[in-house]
Amino acid sequence: MTALLNIENYRLDIPTFDGVLKVLDGIDIKLDQGDTLGIVGESGCGKTVLARSILGIGPRNAKRVSGQIVFDATALDELSEAEWRRIRGVKISMIFQDPMTYLNPLLTIGRQLSDVVVAHHRAQGMQVPAKAERLARCGQLLEQVQIADTQRVLKSYPHQLSGGMRQRILIAMALAGEPKLLIADEPTTALDVTIQAQILKLLRDLVDRLGLTVVMISHDVGAIAALSRRVAVMYAGTVVEQGEAESILTRPRHPYTRGLLAALPDIEGATHPLEAIPGTIPNLITPPTGCRFHPRCPRATAICRQQKPETRSIGADHVVACHHAFD
Amino acid sequence: MLTFTFRKIAVLVGTMLGLAALTFLITNVAPGDPARLVAGPDATNDMVETIRQEYGLDRPLYEQFAIYMGDLLTGDLGRSIVSTRPVVDELMRYVPATLELVLVAMVLGILVGVPFGMLSAVYKDRFLDQVTRIFSISGVALPAFWFGILLQLFFAVRLEWLPVSGRLPLTELPPEPITHLLLVDSLLRGQFETFWAALSHIILPAIVLSFPCLASILRVNRAEMIEVLQSDHIVAARAHGISSARIVTIYALKNALLPTLAMIGLRFGWMLGSTVLVETVFDWPGIGLYAVSSALASDFKPVVGVTLVIGFFFMITNTLVDLAYAWIDPRLRRA
């Protein structure tokens, strides 16, 4: 079975005033239809840039140095703007981090949602439905994300609704085109903890019910674990470890993954002090040579400074990129 | 929205009264004795005193103020000393001409400034953007009297496409007044030839007057568009597959229009107050010329009248801008 999403040796540079940011450094990610992948990593590790590249909405001046992103047998990097429109929202769609700023403040929810519905019909060459039909469809989409008072919500502006409600609306918009692949970029980060749980549960239900393929991005390992069967751990533009969530979260092999998990509070056996990873994430204009994690790594040796570690398989579905991976 | 509207109108009335009081004060502290001016250089002290009594200038200031405000509310702005005609009558002659000129210039500024500002933002740093940049810098930099004469020389004298000056040819009778705006009245009366004549006369002065205003509208709209186009909800709209054209014209322009509107309101007031140069060059019978000649003759009543009229239209525009703000941005409606 060929993967629905295949990212191969993807390298991306972003020229800035201070120099060229080497944002993504050879990313390899495969995702089968119906599977769920969580990408976890610190802020600034390139998660969001990667996610947006999948939808062709990354930074305008970003330059692809090598590799490609193939979705459903289509090389996405080659697409024209017109071709993108047949993909965005229809085949791949996205949920965003902050529901506060990702909805247009000056248009009603109904207007924004129905625009999305219209765009999808146009993209697929179908006739745009009449107004009543569109409204019914919008109501249906809101019901799907468990919003009860659909008529009132459709007439509302974003500022009149709560954060949780707005996130539900963004999810409804993302699902409007019945996409195959859903990218969730930190969907719970900006929400209260209780709302986070609700949104995660809603996403879980939708993924199960609609059989969605999901890429979820977060720095919250808990949120990732709740939704993803597989996990990819990113550090400074590289994937350091990838595989089944179960395997990675219980037996991490990469020193960075270990550090990340050790930095998490543990409710049940809260006996050990939380460990922080020493140092900070590197400057991506002049990234460390060899393994990008070596300046912060407790196991680093001479080879780590000189050679970028190959990604090697260490289990049925578990790869790691480290010269000195744990056994 | 309704309470918001009423509140804005209440503020408008209050500001108008404040302006009236302020102009009264200023004319009273200004140097020169109006009674002596009216009486003329050869008048005896007795004559001046008689005139002082006649005009109520001997009464205490608060009484004068009450009379002035009372007159104002009944639409009486006094008489011009120079022409001895009621100021209201003279304003009725001059204000529509200026208002028409400013309105046409404003429409021109908006119709060109907003779309080109939008396009410059979309094609930022590309050819079109560079062209509009040069265009708008010249717009702000060129002095109106020089630019006006240049246009006259080229379009009126050299090409003879447009008339040099005036509001209508001497041979053309103005239409029976309805709004006192020639363009509107001639259309309403169905006198299309008069309309074309009026239009051909107003084009050049309107272009000259609107140029700096157009330039600032363009630049503000461009800057706002660039900022809005980078915001999160635009990224989201793109991700949802909304077309670029729709994103630019609806999702971004609506947000960018708010600061542009503020600029439009400010520029409108600025144009009303700065028509005098354009009116001089194009011999346009408006309030700019009227105000300057009255001020030079120390004829205070017309100056007060003009000040109040400009203030009135300025406040009206800004109230309209405030209402448009609330109409565009739902978050302001409760404020």
Cβ atoms of B48 and B35 closer than 8 Å: yes
Q: Which residues contact A302 (CB under 8 A, 6 or more apart)?
A: none
The residue type found at A232 is: A
The token pair at A283 is 């400057």
Nearest CA in chain B to A82: B243
Chain A neighbors of B237, CB-CB under 8 A? 104, 112, 115
Q: What is the predicted ipTM?
A: 0.85
User: How deeply is A204 buried, as exposed, middle or buried, from its count of CB atoms within 10 A (0-12, 13-18, 19+)?
Assistant: middle
CB contact under 8 A, A89 and B243: no
Q: Measured between beta carbons, which residues in chain A are less than 8 angstroms from residue B326?
A: none
d(CA A64, CA A13): 6
Closest in A123, A157, A177 to B330, CB measured: A157
Q: Does A45 have pLDDT greater than 80?
A: yes
Q: In A, which residues are within 8 Å of B330 by CB distance? A: 105-106, 157, 159-160
Q: Which residues between 86 and 115 in chain A have a beta carbon less than 8 angstroms from any beta carbon of chain B?
A: 87-90, 93-94, 96, 98, 101-107, 112, 115
A116 Cβ under 8 Å from any chain B Cβ: yes
Are B125 and B137 in contact by the 8 Å Cβ rule? The answer is no
The C-alpha of B229 sits at a distance from chain A's nearest C-alpha, in angstroms, of: 12
> How high is the pLDDT of residue A5?
93
CA distance B236 to chain A (A): 6
Q: Looking at the whole model, is its pTM more than 0.95?
A: no
Which ranges of B123-191 does DSSP label H, i.e. alpha helix?
A: 127-141, 144-151, 182-188
Distance CA B316, CA B305 (A): 16
**To probe the interface with B, which of A86, A102, A111, A166 has the most B CB atoms within 10 Å?**
A102
Tell me the pLDDT tens digit for each residue of A262-302.
887 776 666 677 778 888 888 888 889 989 999 988 888 88
pLDDT single digits (tens) B38-62: 777 787 888 888 888 877 777 888 8
> Alpha carbon of A83 to those of A69, A79, A80, A90, B70: distances in Å?
15, 6, 5, 12, 71
pLDDT, tens digit (0-9, with 9 covering 90-100), for A51-72: 999 998 888 888 899 999 999 8
DSSP string, A303-316: HHHHSPPPPEEEET
What's the rounded Cα separation, in Å, for the pair A224 and A39?
A: 8
pLDDT tens track, chain B, 335 positions: 788 888 888 888 898 889 888 888 887 777 667 777 777 778 788 888 888 887 777 788 888 888 888 888 888 888 887 888 888 999 988 999 999 999 999 999 999 999 999 999 999 889 999 999 998 888 888 888 889 899 989 998 888 888 888 888 777 778 888 888 888 888 888 888 888 888 989 999 999 999 999 999 999 999 999 999 999 999 999 999 898 889 999 999 999 999 999 989 888 888 888 888 899 889 888 898 888 888 888 777 888 899 889 888 888 888 899 889 888 998 887 65
Q: Which residues of A touch B328 (CB under 8 A)?
A: 106
User: Cα Rg for chain B, rounded, in angstroms?
Assistant: 24
* Each residue's pLDDT tens digit, B226-266: 999 999 999 999 999 898 889 999 999 999 999 999 989 88
Report whether B101 contacts B285 (CB < 8 A).
no
Contacts of B69 (CB under 8 A, 6+ apart): B17, B20, B21, B24
Q: Report CA torsion sign: A158, A162, A163, A169.
A: negative
Per residue in A102-113, pLDDT (tens digit) is 999 999 999 999
User: pLDDT digit string (tens) for B301-333?
Assistant: 888 899 889 888 888 888 899 889 888 998 887
- DSSP track, A206-246: HHHHHT-EEEEEES-HHHHHHH-SEEEEEETTEEEEEEEHH
Res B304: pLDDT: 87
Contact across the interface for A85 and B231, Cβ inside 8 Å: no
CB-based contact, A207 to chain B, within 8 Å: no
CA distance A124 to chain B (A): 11
> Is A104 within 8 Å of B237 (Cβ atoms)?
yes
C-alpha distances out from residue B146 to B151, B165, B274, B281, Å: 9, 15, 15, 9
- Chain B residues with beta carbon closer than 8 angstroms to that of A176: 240
